[in-house]
Amino acid sequence: MDYTNVKRIHLIGVAGTGMGSFAGMLKSAGYQVTGSDQNVYPPMSTQLEKWGIEVLQGYRPENLDEARPDLVVVGNVVRRDNPEATAMRERGLPNVSFPQALGDLFIGPRHGVVVVGTHGKTTTSAMMGALLHHAGRDPSFLVGGVTRDFDSNFRLGAGPHFVVEGDEYDTAYFDKGPKFLHYLPRTAIFTSCELDHADIYRDEAHYESAFERFMEILPANGFLAACAGWESVLRIARRARCPVETYSVDRPADWEARDLSLAADGARFTLTRRGQTLCPVHLPLGGAHNVENALGVAAAATALGLAPEEIAAGLAAFRGVKRRQEVRGQAGGVTVLDDFAHHPTAVARTLEAVASRYPGARLLACFEPRSNTSRRNLHQQAYVTAWGSAAEVFILTPAPTDRVPENERLDVQRLAREISAAGRPARAFGTVEEMVEAVAAGARPGDVVVAMSNGAFGGIWDKLLARLGR
**Does residue 1 lie in a domain region?**
no
**β-sheet with 334-339: strand ranges across:** 326-331, 334-339, 448-452, 363-367, 390-396, 426-429
The answer on 343 and 279 residing in a single domain is: no
Give pLDDT, residue 9. Answer: 98
464 in the same domain as 336: yes
For helices 432-442 and 460-469, give the axis angle rounded to 10 degrees: 40
Note every long-range contact of 50-54, with CB atoms under 8 Å and residues 24 or more positions apart, other chains counting.
Answer: 51/23, 51/24, 51/27, 52/27, 53/14, 53/23, 53/24, 53/27
Residue in 396, 317, 16, 300 with CA at minimum distance from that of residue 148: 317
Angle of helix 288-303 relative to helix 308-317, nearest 10 degrees, comes to 140
Q: For the full predicted model, state whether its pTM sits above 0.85.
A: yes
Are 194 and 279 within one domain?
Answer: yes
Question: Helix or strand or coil: residue 171?
Answer: strand
Question: Same domain for 132 and 62?
Answer: no
Let me know whether 455 and 366 are in one domain.
yes
Domain boundary among 69, 100, 131: 100
In a domain? residue 367: yes
Amino acid identity for residue 201 in this structure: Y
Q: Distance between CA atoms of 70 and 24, rounded to whole angstroms?
A: 17
Among 60, 78, 100, the domain boundary falls at 100
Residues 420 and 374 in one domain: yes
Residue 2 lies in a domain: no
β-pairing, 266-273 vs 255-263, is antiparallel
Q: Assess whether 286 and 379 both reside in one domain.
A: no
In 3D space, the residue among 257, 254, 256 whose CA is nearest the CA of residue 268 turns out to be: 257
Angle at which helix 308-317 crosses helix 121-134, to 10 degrees, equals: 120
Residue 376 to residue 68: CA distance in whole angstroms:
41
96 and 171 assigned to the same domain: no
Please indicate, yes or no, if residue 342 is contained in any of the structural domains: yes
179 and 285 in a single domain? The answer is yes
Q: Which CATH number goes with the domain that contains 353?
A: 3.90.190.20
Contact 281, 317 (CB under 8 A): no
**Which stretches of the chain drop beneath a pLDDT of 50?**
none
Residue 309 lies in a domain: yes
Do 161 and 272 belong to one domain? yes
Let me know if residue 3 belongs to a domain: no
| Residues 282 and 392 occupy one common structural domain | no
Q: Where in the sequence is the domain holding 206, given as residue range(s)?
A: 108-317
Q: Assess if residue 432 is contained within a domain.
A: yes
Number of folded domains that form the chain: 3
- How high is the pLDDT of residue 401? 67
Dihedral of the CA atoms 416, 421, 423, 429 (nearest 10)? 20
What number of CA atoms fall less than 13 Å from residue 52's CA on the CB side? 6
CATH code, domain with 23: 3.40.50.720
Euclidean distance between CA atoms 300 and 186, whole angstroms: 11
Q: Final residue of a domain: which of 282, 317, 352?
A: 317
What per-residue string of b and e applies to 120-129 under the rule 16 or more CB within 10 Å gives b?
bbbbbbbbbb
The DSSP 8-state label assigned to residue 91 in this structure reads: T
- Read off the CATH number of the domain in which 248 is found: 3.40.1190.10
Are 268 and 306 in the same domain?
yes
In a domain, 191, yes or no: yes
